[in-house]
Each structure stands twice: as C-alpha cells, then as structure tokens.
Amino acid sequence: MTQEAIFSGFGGQGVLTMGMLLGYAGIIEDKEVTWMPSYGPEMRGGTANCITIISDTSISSPIISTFDTLMALNQPSVDKFEEKVKKGGNIIYDSTNIINVPTRKDINIYAVPGSETAVRLKNSKVLNMIMLGSFLKVNPIVKLESIWKALEQVLPERYHHLIPLNQEAFNTGMELIAK
C-alpha cells in the first residue's frame, strides 16, 4: 500500500509536524518514507506544506504531481491543491477556517471543524493533532500505537507531559470522521 499525501496550511499551524509524525510512525513499522517540506520564507508565516509518502515498496520520487490525500488547514491550500487530488482520493479540511469549500464530485471530501474543536479542548496548538487523527481514520496507513511511539520520539522529553493532551486531540479527530 502507498499513501501519497500533502499537508498544507499556514506556517505555525504544525503542518510539517503532521507529516513528520506520520513519517516516524512509518519508520517504526519499517515502511519506506519520504518527507519533503517547503522550507522557504513561507515557514515564517506564509503557506507551508510537506509532501509525505508512506509505502510498503520503494519510493521512486519524493516530488509528485498528484496526491491521494490533501490535508488543508487554510484557504490557499484548497485553492492551490484541490485539482491535484487523484480521482477517488481525499480532501480533509479544517471547516472552521475554510470558507470556499472544495467542490469536486469525483473525490471524498471530509469537513472537520478542527480549529473549533481545538478551542473546545482549550489549546489551539493541538489543531494539527486533531486533523492528523482525522487523516489516520480516513487512511489507516500506520497503527495507532506507532503514532504514540512517534510522538515520544519527536517531542523533546521536557514536553512529554503534553502527550496525553495530544492523544486526546488525536482521538477526537478520529471521532470527528466517524460521525
């Protein structure tokens, strides 16, 4: 199985971390992984994205033209990448932030009220974890326990007390898809 995904949003929303967590979880399961970030001035406030590919077989190119899944956390991401989603693919977007919603009929579209839910959880910074939960529900490409292990690897030890909050956010994101 191969999942070719793009995570896109404003710099600071944690889109690079979403892809990275998924990548670490992939490595834990000995899958092939490429994680290609945008690293320009957009990281300091503009639109940032990362292409993350997880696969059971070797990955030819980390640069791809079309995506299985678009994770969009802001309007420019929908505007720019909606047409790049493969037929039968997915768009998962933060419906709190995005006004002009994706309209394609040949893909699956998931509206997730991510920012609103983050406020409800009393921490706007967990938006990315909520959305990653939704992503994994739609694309069960790695096991949940691998995500938890990846969290421990990615977060420096001084932040490990925040892991339960991140797990809660992640689980909430999964539930938002189930509804």
Partner 1 sequence: MSKKLMKGNEALAEAMIRAGCDAYFGYPITPQSEVIEYLSREATNRTGMVVLQAESEVAAINMIYGSAASGRRVMTTSSSPGISLMQEGLSYIAAAELPCLVANINRGGPGLGTIQPSQGDYFQATKGGGHGDYHLIVLAPSSVQEMVDYTKLGFELAEKYRCPTMLLADGAIGQMMEKVELFEQMPRKTEFPDWATTGKPKNGDRRIITSLFIQPEKMEQINLGLQRKYREIEKNEVRFQTINTEDAEYIFTGFGLGARICTKAMESGRAKGYKIGVVRPQTLYPFPVEIYNQLSKKVKGILDVEMNAGQMVEDVRLAVRGNTRVEFYGRMGGIIATPDEILEYFEKMFL
Among 45, 56, 61, 152, binds partner 1 (CB under 8 A): 61
Binder of partner 1 out of 12, 45, 46, 62 (CB under 8 A): 62
Q: How many residues bind partner 1 (CB under 8 A)?
A: 21
108 lines the binding site for partner 1 (CB under 8 A): no
Q: Judged by CB under 8 A, does residue 65 bind partner 1?
A: yes
Per CB under 8 A, the list member of 17, 29, 66, 165 interacting with partner 1 is 66
Q: Does 64 bind partner 1 (CB under 8 A)?
A: yes
> What DSSP string describes the chain?
-EEEEEEEEETTS-HHHHHHHHHHHHHHTT-EEEEEE--SGGGGTSEEEEEEEEESS--S-S--SSEEEEEESSHHHHHHHGGGEEEEEEEEEETTT-SS----SSSEEEEE-HHHHHHHTT-GGGHHHHHHHHHHHH---S-HHHHHHHHHHHS-GGGGGGHHHHHHHHHHHHHHHH-
Contact residue for partner 1 among 17, 29, 32, 116 (CB under 8 A): 32
- Give least dist CB 71 to partner 1, A: 17
In the complex, the residues that contact partner 1 under the rule CB under 8 A are 20, 23-24, 26-27, 30, 32-37, 39-40, 60-66
